[in-house]
A and B are shown apart, each in its own frame.
Chain A
């Protein structure tokens, strides 16, 4: 199989994911989009590993090994991410990213010490879970 097919497919997957991260409102859909992007990368890793091992006698298959790592980490990441989203939803009654704007400083809160935690959903959820 020519390398172009998996490369194009992964590019499409990545763009779909990117669009989802940038445009979706629901936090769960955003997480799913992140998974799409991750899997696009995984696909690239496997495809190029096969291509390289054929061309340059690369026998270690480090691309495939790395893919296994990425899958494991992605599983952990999605677990934590979903837990956070669940906690936020319980606390706030919504998982709409547009409404989770705690890091923004309002026009009245001008003083120091009022900035929220690092990432909006993560910080809040950890503090309140």
Chain B
């Protein structure tokens, strides 16, 4: 088979798997698991084959026009360069891991067939985004991901949290998608084509007249999808979905779509210095704010969600300094270790019966119950904190190195200011990242207090996947940083000495500070008993997690916050803790800016409809009703009255006819 046939099959197989899964889910339950697991695995093999054949050489391009579509043609096009080939391998890899993990995680879930089919559909949409060479086809995948995310976040739709979170995820990403759509149309109109290669040619030859407007419009969509400030608020709430969904959608792939899209069209963004500075500021605010918020979260998955936002901030930061190689490098390594973190967190939540770090810090020996999750999560957290031999170190240093390179101001493709913003924010975030990673590890695995409950061994499908994902988290960065430039733009990704020393030093500082704070506060934990455990800890992991999420707000007063004096973050953040736990009240701002005006508008419309429009309707009905009441009086029900009236009428008519006939 040619490379192009293979590449077409990569997104097609999960799509067919999803269609078959949705059709056969009820009638043939035995086929559901194979249909869920095999297509992503096959896609993984095919994507790896495509990547091997492409090999970082010239991009594979193919296109066919299904039907003429008017002025700017829309074509089914593939554009597979090094970025696309590698990101597709990552997507298929994480999707396959998540599908295998889900067979164990949701093994007793009655809605597993539709769940698995939606995950497959989502995978197919993401692969379409990755391989597509046409912006409109890319948009199709982009929106399919949005709707799949809505359904999957709302998987536990019995709980109000999940319902609210799925709606919020959908609406907030749509808030970005509308400008994104307009931006795509403007871009297509100016470039005369939606093909990515032609658009990039037009950018290179200066054929785009309004790069700033287009870039900013596209950035809105990117911010919504990639959960960048100020459209990031949906991601922490989306943790109300099942953990595998968080791993696949909200860590490794969907949120990566925005970064990947920007990387593909980076020359367009580089054409506008304003857009690059906006991108840098967005990245910096996202990084620093999410780091502080992550430090204050009580729900283990919300910590990881804010950490995802922060790591995506690193990627947009790398894009803001014009180095898409570093951005996609970090995307790849982050995809692996963040998927691992989420999947391990799912195991932890199942074993502990709670998603609250405060409750876990009062459990002794949780790490002995789940050694697989303990060791793999340690690896992933070290990768997240960018400690040298782990993959996160190399990718993060490539970002910081690129920023440092730009600060000199001698580079044409990115403004020096962007370099400084990204570098400073990146170093500050390095401290925070290490701090919240350390806090998560200490609270989850070094708890003191009662013995952790024993719920038996975790399913094999779940633990094996953790070890599979631990391999790239451990080794991918170190092995790949020399080979990757050949696949990407050719820019060197080797860590520079200065930023490596600075970044690692700051990470160590953050980790040690947290450890010191924990030493001082951990003694308080015994004095303040706290914790609520899911009602059915023996059930399958999905149910335990749903119960844990649903019980967090009633047990601790808030979905993100727990009144735990033993939390080291309380000591580190001081008065900032309360605000950081609430995500710096951005939700309240949105509520004041958007939700309440919309609700006020709705009540105004309701008033107009009920009081004004309905008045006319009622008035129109009142007149016939009055006339009818007058006529009704004649209806006595006595037949003889009617006959008398009939006779009288006949007599009158006869007399009239006689008078007329005789001509009087």
Taking CB as reference atom, which chain B residue is nearest A120? B639
A23–B636 CB distance below 8 A? no
A104–B639 CB distance below 8 A? no
B640–A22 CB distance below 8 A? yes
B636–A21 CB distance below 8 A? no
Task: Report which of A22, A101, A119, A121 forms a contact with B636, defined as CB distance below 8 A.
Answer: A101
CB-defined contacts of B637 to chain A, threshold 8 Å: 100-104, 116, 120
Taking CB as reference atom, which chain B residue is nearest A103? B637
Is A8 among interface residues, defined by CB-CB distance under 8 A? no
A101–B638 CB distance below 8 A? yes
Distance between Cα atoms of A113 and B487 in the complex (Å):
79
Assuming A18-B647, A105-B632, is B639 touching A23 (CB within 8 A)?
A: no
Distance between Cα atoms of A93 and B103 in the complex (Å):
76
Chain A proximity of B515: nearest CB distance (Å): 78
CB-defined contacts of B647 to chain A, threshold 8 Å: 18, 22
A21–B635 CB distance below 8 A? no
In chain B between 621 and 664, which residues have their CB closer than 8 angstroms to a CB of chain A? 629, 632, 635-640, 643-644, 647
Closest 10 CB pairs of A and B: A104-B637, A101-B637, A103-B637, A104-B635, A105-B632, A104-B636, A22-B644, A22-B640, A120-B639, A21-B643
Taking CB as reference atom, which chain A residue is nearest B641? A22
In chain A between 68 and 115, which residues have their CB closer than 8 angstroms to a CB of chain B? 97-98, 100-105, 110
Distance between Cα atoms of A119 and B639 in the complex (Å):
8
Distance between Cα atoms of A101 and B639 in the complex (Å):
8
Distance between Cα atoms of A22 and B647 in the complex (Å):
10
Distance between Cα atoms of A108 and B179 in the complex (Å):
60
A105–B639 CB distance below 8 A? no
Chain A proximity of B371: nearest CB distance (Å): 75
Taking CB as reference atom, which chain A residue is nearest B633? A105
Taking CB as reference atom, which chain A residue is nearest B644? A22
Distance between Cα atoms of A17 and B636 in the complex (Å):
23
CB-defined contacts of B644 to chain A, threshold 8 Å: 22
Distance between Cα atoms of A116 and B636 in the complex (Å):
12
Task: Report which of B632, B635, B639 forms a contact with A97, defined as CB distance below 8 A.
Answer: B639
Enumerate chain B interface residues (CB-CB to A < 8 A): 629, 632, 635-640, 643-644, 647
Chain A proximity of B492: nearest CB distance (Å): 85
Distance between Cα atoms of A18 and B643 in the complex (Å):
10
A23–B640 CB distance below 8 A? yes
CB-defined contacts of A102 to chain B, threshold 8 Å: 637
A97–B640 CB distance below 8 A? yes
CB-defined contacts of A105 to chain B, threshold 8 Å: 632, 635
7 residue pairs bridging A and B, Cβ less than 8 Å apart: A22-B640, A22-B643, A98-B638, A101-B636, A101-B638, A104-B636, A104-B638
Distance between Cα atoms of A41 and B661 in the complex (Å):
25
Distance between Cα atoms of A97 and B643 in the complex (Å):
13
Enumerate chain A interface residues (CB-CB to B < 8 A): 18, 21-23, 97-98, 100-105, 110, 116, 119-121
Distance between Cα atoms of A65 and B399 in the complex (Å):
114
CB-defined contacts of A104 to chain B, threshold 8 Å: 635-638
CB-defined contacts of B640 to chain A, threshold 8 Å: 21-23, 97-98
CB-defined contacts of A110 to chain B, threshold 8 Å: 629
Taking CB as reference atom, which chain B residue is nearest A116? B637
Chain A proximity of B644: nearest CB distance (Å): 6
Give the most central of B629, B639, B640: most A CB within 10 Å: B639
Taking CB as reference atom, which chain B residue is nearest A25? B640
Taking CB as reference atom, which chain B residue is nearest A112? B628
Chain A proximity of B647: nearest CB distance (Å): 7
CB-defined contacts of B643 to chain A, threshold 8 Å: 21-22
CB-defined contacts of A116 to chain B, threshold 8 Å: 637
Taking CB as reference atom, which chain A residue is nearest B625? A110
Distance between Cα atoms of A18 and B644 in the complex (Å):
10
Chain B proximity of A9: nearest CB distance (Å): 21
Distance between Cα atoms of A93 and B647 in the complex (Å):
30
CB-defined contacts of B635 to chain A, threshold 8 Å: 103-105
Distance between Cα atoms of A116 and B640 in the complex (Å):
17
Chain B proximity of A82: nearest CB distance (Å): 17
Taking CB as reference atom, which chain B residue is nearest A121? B639
Distance between Cα atoms of A30 and B433 in the complex (Å):
103
Distance between Cα atoms of A54 and B636 in the complex (Å):
49
CB-defined contacts of A101 to chain B, threshold 8 Å: 636-638
Taking CB as reference atom, which chain B residue is nearest A119? B639
Chain B proximity of A106: nearest CB distance (Å): 9
CB-defined contacts of A119 to chain B, threshold 8 Å: 639
Chain A proximity of B292: nearest CB distance (Å): 65
Give the most central of A21, A23, A102, A116: most B CB within 10 Å: A21
Distance between Cα atoms of A103 and B549 in the complex (Å):
64
CB-defined contacts of B638 to chain A, threshold 8 Å: 97-98, 101, 104
Give the most central of A98, A100, A102, A121: most B CB within 10 Å: A98
Instruction: Add 17 more A-B contacts to A18-B647, A103-B635 (CB < 8 A).
Output: A21-B643, A22-B640, A22-B644, A23-B640, A97-B638, A98-B638, A98-B640, A100-B637, A100-B639, A101-B636, A101-B638, A103-B637, A105-B632, A110-B629, A116-B637, A119-B639, A120-B637
Chain A proximity of B249: nearest CB distance (Å): 55
Chain A proximity of B143: nearest CB distance (Å): 49
Taking CB as reference atom, which chain B residue is nearest A104? B637
Chain B proximity of A125: nearest CB distance (Å): 14
Distance between Cα atoms of A103 and B638 in the complex (Å):
8
Give the most central of B635, B636, B637: most A CB within 10 Å: B637
Distance between Cα atoms of A46 and B200 in the complex (Å):
107
CB-defined contacts of A22 to chain B, threshold 8 Å: 640, 643-644, 647
Taking CB as reference atom, which chain B residue is nearest A105? B632
Distance between Cα atoms of A103 and B639 in the complex (Å):
9
Taking CB as reference atom, which chain B residue is nearest A23? B640
Taking CB as reference atom, which chain A residue is nearest B635? A104
Chain A proximity of B182: nearest CB distance (Å): 52
Distance between Cα atoms of A128 and B263 in the complex (Å):
82
Chain A proximity of B633: nearest CB distance (Å): 9
Distance between Cα atoms of A22 and B645 in the complex (Å):
10
Give the most central of B629, B640, B644: most A CB within 10 Å: B640
CB-defined contacts of A100 to chain B, threshold 8 Å: 637, 639
CB-defined contacts of B632 to chain A, threshold 8 Å: 105
Give the most central of A18, A100, A101, A102: most B CB within 10 Å: A101
